[in-house]
Amino acid sequence: MLLHIPDILTRDEVAHFRHELDRATWTDGRETVGPQGAQVKRNLQLPDASPLRETLGRAVLEAVARHPTYHAATLPQRTLMPRFNRYEGGGQYGFHVDGAVMALPDGTQLRSDISCTLFLANPDEYDGGELIINDTYGEHEVKLPAGDLIVYPSSSLHRVASVTRGARLAAFFWVQSLVRDDSKRRLLFEMDTAIQTLTRTGGNAPAVLQLTAVYHNLLRSWAES
């Protein structure tokens, strides 16, 4: 499921992130990928050990936790601490698929079900830099306002187009969902959205209750511990 979730960060929060990132020390983004990824990756990242990455990463996780649409779409079980990247001067990232399993700081592993990119620069601040996601329906170009999030299956082939003017700033992270299968997550999300709409518009209460029970029983059946 490819989903645009607006307003994860407020305008003031984006301004704070930008202030901190404009003063940050960046490193070569190829340090965080394997040999294959390093061949097509040309960008800058905050070092993994950077205290700023920890501080801003926790702020991102707090922001998505406040957003009901994010929770409904991802059903998060575990999340990798967000990283931050910068593309400028022709920087790009060729087509690739994200790693299936990633190490967490406590030594456990995270299965990457969902990839998330939180845009931190507005589209008029840079040329190029589109996130291009390839799925069974073709290629989708994504370039969102600062503070907006895109979520998509980590199994998708995707790339970041070359940035030819300005700088593209973003946070990115991966989620292991309670529901591994993307098609099942989509069904649950659509059902949850319908339940919320019926509740807001005064839908038949017994029917809403029954639909809610079906949702939770499906989630109970499909969720993995």
CATH number at residue 30: 2.60.120.620
Final residue of a structural domain among 177, 194, 213:
177
Q: Taking the model in full, what pTM does it have?
A: 0.95
pLDDT score for 54 = 97
Residues 143 and 200 in one domain: no
Residues 119 and 196 in one domain: no
Q: Over the stretch 66-103, which tens digit does the pLDDT of each residue have?
A: 999 999 999 999 999 999 999 999 999 999 999 999 99
Residues 114 and 168 in one domain: yes
Please name which of 51, 52, 70 lies closest in space to residue 9, comparing C-alpha atoms.
Answer: 70
Which residues are CB-contacts of 77 (< 8 A; sequence separation ≥ 6)? 175, 176, 177, 178, 224
Residues 193 and 124 in one domain: no
Query: Is there a contact between 129 and 143 (Cβ–Cβ < 8 Å)?
Result: yes
Residues 216 and 154 in one domain: no
Q: Which two tokens stand for residue 222?
A: 């499909």
Residues 102 and 161 in one domain: yes
- Total number of domains in the chain: 2
Residues 57 and 127 in one domain: yes
Query: Which residues span the domain enclosing 192?
Result: 182-222
Residues 151 and 100 in one domain: yes
Residues 200 and 135 in one domain: no
Q: Is a pLDDT exceeding 80 seen at residue 32?
A: no
Q: State the CATH number of the domain containing residue 209.
A: 4.10.860.20
Residues 54 and 158 in one domain: yes
Determine the Cα–Cα distance for residues 130 and 136; give it in Å rounded to an integer: 19
Question: What confidence category does residue 34 fall into, taking pLDDT thresholds of 50, 70 and 90?
Answer: low
- Our CA dihedral for 93, 117, 78, 187, rounded to 10 degrees, sits at -110
Residues 208 and 159 in one domain: no
Residues 135 and 214 in one domain: no
